[in-house]
């Protein structure tokens, strides 16, 4: 069984989750940023992580998700500054599922990701302010160890062949 963890990360939030998954999963495995990710063909399991931008998975991950082949098991994970369980997060995860429609989605996880201060200050100047700005303080320090434990516990609960 070949496993792949592929992620996109500007600030290191999603990369932190990707590295935790990589360390946790057994067997033959690889980890790669989406910009240099291998062709998804030949992998049995792919953990695909992205940041949510403008209510969607970032563009690079969108293109990669479209390429995932039939019968591949996919675990989606995302970081964001929006409220957990918000319509924005639900819509982004739905878009990711739709893009990877040929794969078998086995699970999903999302959590806060800290927003860099310069990006937060820029967003505060916009009128109207993006909805996520009001959750940015709560997102500080995330993903944290509790987020990682929760995600790995979820992965362990899935019916994966290892």
**What DSSP assignment string belongs to 72-137?**
-EEEEEEEESSPTT-HHHHHHHHHHHHHTTTSEEEEEEEEE-PPPHHHHHHHHHSSSPPGGGGGHH
As its CATH architecture, domain 2-157 has: 3-Layer(aba) Sandwich (3.40)
Domain spans in the chain, listed from the N-terminal domain onward:
2-157
Q: What is the value of pTM for the model shown? A: 0.94
Note the pLDDT tens digit of each residue in 42-90.
999 999 999 999 899 999 999 999 999 878 999 999 999 998 889 999 9
pLDDT one-digit tens code per residue, 143-157: 999 999 999 999 999
102-112 residue pLDDT tens = 999 999 999 99
pLDDT at 161 over 80: no
- 29, containing H or E segment: strand 28-33
């Amino acid at each position: 069984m070949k496993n792949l963890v592929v992620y996109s990360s500007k600030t290191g939030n999603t990369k932190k989750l990707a590295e935790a998954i990589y360390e946790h999963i057994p067997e033959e495995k690889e980890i790669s940023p989406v910009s240099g990710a291998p062709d998804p063909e030949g992998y049995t399991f792919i953990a695909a992580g992205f940041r949510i931008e403008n209510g969607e998975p970032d563009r690079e991950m969108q293109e990669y998700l479209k390429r995932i082949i039939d019968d591949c098991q996919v675990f989606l994970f995302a970081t964001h500054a929006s409220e957990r369980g918000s319509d924005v997060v639900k819509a982004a995860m739905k878009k990711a599922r739709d893009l990877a429609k040929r794969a078998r989605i086995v699970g999903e996880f999302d959590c806060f990701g800290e927003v860099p201060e310069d990006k937060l200050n820029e967003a505060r100047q916009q009128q109207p302010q993006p909805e996520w700005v009001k959750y940015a303080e709560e997102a500080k320090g995330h993903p944290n160890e509790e987020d990682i434990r929760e995600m790995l516990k979820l992965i362990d609960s899935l019916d994966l062949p290892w």
